[in-house]
Amino acid sequence: MNPCRCGMAGEPGQACARGPRCASDYQARVSGPFLDRIDLRVDVPAVTAADLIRPGAAEDSASVRARVVAARALQAERHAALGLPPDTANAHLSPTQVESLARPDAAGQRLLAEAAEKARFSARAYHRILKVARTLADLEGGGAVRAAHLAEAIALRASAEGRLGQPA
């Protein structure tokens, strides 16, 4: 979603022609319940000429694909043990299933509890964060859901304004 109607708010060296209120008015057009259904909210700044010239140090597509295939295989095995279809993704788990399969370690539980209280997560947001954290753990090899996975899932859910999981 653009930060404002013209898309310039918050861009380095750019300014929105309508001022700071433009961004809040524009973003208020999207309902809170709708935003609550979006699992990953990533702020993507405009690409500069320097970004295009600089050589990329990114992971290649083949290795990313291999990690995703391995994570999906772990999910299929885990879900088959529960009697679920093998193509069931973490995103399709029920709240009860995700609570049992994505049980965080003690540090992760504390982090999640603090973030949920501070940001007033809805039940939907809470379970979606667990699903994303379970997927992040699967991408690392399928171990336990740790605080680092939860921190990343919470950060990926946070909107650009810093309202952690809080519907606008």
pLDDT at residue 97, as a whole number? 93
Question: CA–CA distance from 67 to each of 60, 74, 135, 151, 168 (Å)?
Answer: 11, 11, 11, 20, 34
Question: CA–CA distance from 6 to each of 3, 10, 24, 26, 86 (Å)?
Answer: 8, 11, 13, 10, 45
pLDDT at residue 63, as a whole number? 92
Q: What is the three-class DSSP state of 103?
A: coil
Give this prediction's pTM: 0.75
Cβ neighbours of 164 (radius 10 Å): 18
Q: Report the interhelical angle of 106-119 vs 147-157 (nearest 10°).
A: 20
pLDDT at residue 168, as a whole number? 36
pLDDT at residue 166, as a whole number? 42
Instruction: Tell me the CA end-to-end span of the chain in Å, nearest whole number.
Output: 13
Of 159, 145, 56, which is closest to residue 102 (Cα–Cα)? 145
Chunked in runs of 10, what are the mean pLDDT values of the chain (168 residues)? 70 70 77 76 74 79 94 93 89 92 93 91 92 95 92 82 41
pLDDT at residue 41, as a whole number? 75
**CA atoms lying within 13 Å on the CB side of residue 45:** 9
pLDDT at residue 160, as a whole number? 42
